Amino acid sequence: MENQCCSSACSPQVSVPHKAVKSENASHVLRLVIPAMDCPNEEALIRRALEKHPGVAGLEFDLINRVLKIHHALPENQPLVDKLNAIGMKPSEEEAGTGGDTDPNVADTPESSRKEWLMAGIAGVFAIGAEVMAYVSGNEQSAAVIALSLLAIVLGGRETLHKGFTALRTFTLNINLLMSVAVIGAVLIGQWPEAAVVIWLFGIAELIEGASLDRARNAIRSLMALAPEMALIRTDGGAWVEMRAAEVHKEALVRARPGERIALDGVVISGESSVNQAPITGESMPVDKKAGDQVFAGTINERGVLEYRVTAEKGETTLDRIARSVQEAQGQRAPIQRFVDRFARVYTPLVFIIALLVAFVPPLLMGGEWYDWFYKALVLLVIACPCALVISTPVTVVSGLAAAARRGIVVKGGLYIEEGHKLKFIALDKTGTITHGRPALTDVVAFEGGDKDEALRIAASLEAHSQHPIAHAITAAQHGDLAQVTNFESLTGRGLRGTIEGVAYFVGNHRLADELGVCRPDVEEVLDRLEDEAKTAMILATNERVIAVLAVADTVRHSSETAVSELKALGIKPVMLTGDNSKTANAIARLVGIEEARGDMLPEDKLAAIDAYSSRGPVGMVGDGVNDAPALAKAHIGFAMGAAGTDTAIETADVALMQDDLTKLVEFIRLSQQTARVLWQNIVIALGIKFIFFVLTLMGAATLWMAVFADMGASLIVVFNGLRLMNVPKMVSTEPSLKVADVPSGG
């Protein structure tokens, strides 16, 4: 079972070396694929063998993909390979820098898996046969029973015994050594059938556990599998040909046909379609795409043909960055995981010592039977294995990270998935977070029975000559033809003037209305009302009268009110920190249900505010990752909003919400709550079963095979309990109807 995960302390994670990975003295990087290296047990053996080897500057462990990188200054690699062969690791050498981070060829092949199960099946027949024969004959030490038991031990336990011997040679206390001692001890006291059954059960449990852990491992690798291997590109001659996506360069023109997955990130050049972006953003509804829109690798083109220009090569796409971020996050152990690791390092030797005391103290000092107490000590050795305890945390954290990634939430470490539910405050930027971050037309109020549509057409015709964001908002709202404008003039600080069909029109602010002398009481009333709502109000007028008032503002996202309400329900206080004026901030806050809002804030003011909230409890900060960078860094957890396609946000935020949807923040916190619950459930299960069998052993009611069942059963229970997180249903929020609280764009 060389490629299977050892039952003790297995965790598909990236391990960061204790000392610096790179050194000025390291001039070479040796990249090795080690199929047997997928547990901290193997990592410990490798560290012991290589860390003090002359010329080795540092080690990088990728237990997910079973890859080891050695930074060294040796003239050749062979001495390092020999060292690994000596401890049974059997590495295959690749040149440094080759192979992807999710190299599929390191996984077990179906053939090797079938062979292992076949060998386990045959070993089981022999082990059970020995047990039946011993029961029928009443002789556990007959030649036939011993022969069947030996065959079962050799076929089903050879690898365990080999690893146990290696652990003994390197003075490493792990489950393989404990199991080997237990089996050899059972043989020495004549319990041949039980020794065979124990090592066979252990092997079966390893196979099942390895398969279940591969599910967690493949959850990350499957992200990479979403992007197709081939892409249809246009050659210089104009022909369309299939090419490996890894060979396509930036600026290449790629065609995505209906039903196909998009191979690389790019910008649409021609065509219209709807694209399912769930692999990137987690959003369930397809998004319409047209020329100028961005598309992402791994997303699904649903109905039309799209031609897009590549903006990111294979390995640098948004999907690649997400997978890389989640994979690297597994190396950042969560606090509870670090506690469990420290506990296990003390617990295992302690129970080993207790087992020795149980074996020798009663017979030597209390007149106990050597056979009985030695047998109890062997049972304790099996129970001593902390595999269920140690394995529970990494599998649960990996499952939580994978579940978040499926929802379009990229979490940069186990720390954040565990600690997210502890947040007491969430500080929200306004523009681009609570609001869309772009002005939109919200009101058209016509006077004296005027036509709103005609007023909008005239205003949009004038504004089409301006580059101001407010002008863009008004022209974007006009879907019909624009009028011909002559004698156009920009009135600095006030508005615009132009002639349409022989009539001089003005579009401008309150000051312009006063200058024209057309600001009647009813117009003043409308202007005051709109401005009290923190909207930017513009008049459309002639020299004689006001025709209409138009209001422009930054619209609130559909999800903002829902998210704020959900945060409150979770016991988290949302606050707003914005660079916009206080009047605007308060208007938006009232609309979405935020009770505390601070306006006119510079980046350093936001930083100070985060500092103040932190003194009252853990605080999270949600922003765009640019002007909010200091506050994001200062917060306990920094959330980047709408990070899809944004290199900086994905790589620097603690948590990247790939979709512009604040309910993703609520999903993250709920997933964090569930992860924390499962972590504690697993710890209670693991320690509870240990305690029960510890008592049963001292009472003489537990046997070796029962101990194996209990230990491996606990491991499987916590593994499958942790994997449940990947099947937790996504949050379904009932979003309120579109609300517009429209304010000038700002902080």
The whole-angstrom separation of Cα 220 and Cα 729 is: 18
Residues written for the chain: 747
Q: Are strands 425-428 and 14-15 parallel, antiparallel or unpaired?
A: unpaired
Residue 741 CA to its chain's centroid (Å): 34
Residue 235 CA to its chain's centroid (Å): 37
Report phi then psi at 38, rounded to 5: -140, 15
Q: What radius of gyration, in Å, describes the C-alpha atoms of the chain?
A: 34
| Per-residue tokens: 274 | 């709807």
Q: Which of 38, 103, 429, 554 is catalytic?
A: 429
The 10 Å Cβ neighbour count of residue 630 is 16
Report phi then psi at 14, rounded to 5: -95, 125
The whole-angstrom separation of Cα 53 and Cα 400 is: 37
Give the three-class secondary structure for 507.
strand
The whole-angstrom separation of Cα 34 and Cα 57 is: 20
Q: Are strands 287-289 and 273-276 parallel, antiparallel or unpaired?
A: antiparallel
Do the beta carbons of residue 451 and residue 703 sit within 8 Å? no
- Which residues is 274 bridged to in the sheet? 288
* Type of residue numbered 355: A
Q: Is 468 exposed, middle or buried (0-12, 13-18, 19+ CB in 10 A)?
A: middle
Query: To which H or E segment does residue 616 belong?
Result: none
Query: To which H or E segment does residue 12 belong?
Result: none
Walk across the sheet containing 287-289 and list its strands: 287-289, 273-276, 300-301
| Nearest CA-CA partner of 432 in 287, 583, 641 | 641
Task: Kindly give the residue spans of alpha helices, DSSP state H, lying in 70-142.
Answer: 78-86, 110-137
CA-CA-CA-CA torsion for 539, 543, 545, 551, nearest 10 degrees? 0
| Nearest CA-CA partner of 697 in 361, 392, 389, 354 | 354
The 10 Å Cβ neighbour count of residue 60 is 18
CA-CA-CA-CA torsion for 110, 113, 119, 125, nearest 10 degrees? -100
The whole-angstrom separation of Cα 411 and Cα 446 is: 50
The whole-angstrom separation of Cα 521 and Cα 90 is: 88
The whole-angstrom separation of Cα 271 and Cα 293 is: 11
236 is a catalytic site residue = no
* Type of residue numbered 596: E
Report phi then psi at 472, rounded to 5: -60, -40
Q: Is 82 exposed, middle or buried (0-12, 13-18, 19+ CB in 10 A)?
A: exposed
The whole-angstrom separation of Cα 238 and Cα 248 is: 16
Residue listed under structure tokens 């505010």 = 609
| Nearest CA-CA partner of 263 in 308, 325, 321 | 308
The whole-angstrom separation of Cα 178 and Cα 199 is: 11
Residues serving a catalytic function are 429
